[in-house]
Amino acid sequence: SAVISQKPSRDICQRGTSLTIQCQVDSQVTMMFWYRQQPGQSLTLIATANQGSEATYESGFVIDKFPISRPNLTFSTLTVSNMSPEDSSIYLCSVGQENQFFGPGTRLTVL
């Protein structure tokens, strides 16, 4: 299994600002995934990030709100733009194919 780290682990942000979340993997991986987990809820896939191509977004998520970078095979960032309190969630990255392994998550609170 891969070892995945995320930064920051948590943050409190003001409405209207943006936050960039980093995901680092200890091995090269083709696909990385970004999920959102709203308080007490399940996980919802935001987008799939492949190195060297544009991220693929799921229904209900758009690039302007959640821009993603994937500069190499071990790193990705997710930006939550123009934040509102509704964006308060845990954001998780994962890697793998059938067996996906998750990072510890970034707990975001928007005031």
Partner 1 sequence: QQQVKQSPQSLIVQKGGIPIINCAYENTAFDYFPWYQQFPGKGPALLIAIRPDVSEKKEGRFTISFNKSAKQFSLHIMDSQPGDSATYFCAASMGGGSEKLVFGKGTKLTVNP
Binding-site member from 22, 79, 100, 109 for partner 1 (CB under 8 A) = 100
Of 12-20, 40-48, 64-72, 73-81, the segment contacting partner 1 by CB under 8 A is: 40-48
48 is a site residue for partner 1 (CB under 8 A): yes
DSSP states of 22-58: EEEESS--SEEEEEEE-TT--EEEEEEEETTS--EEP
Which of 18/30 has CB closer to partner 1? Answer: 30
How many residues touch partner 1 (CB under 8 A)?
Answer: 24
Name residue 92's beta-bridge partners.
35
d(CA 68, CA 31): 13
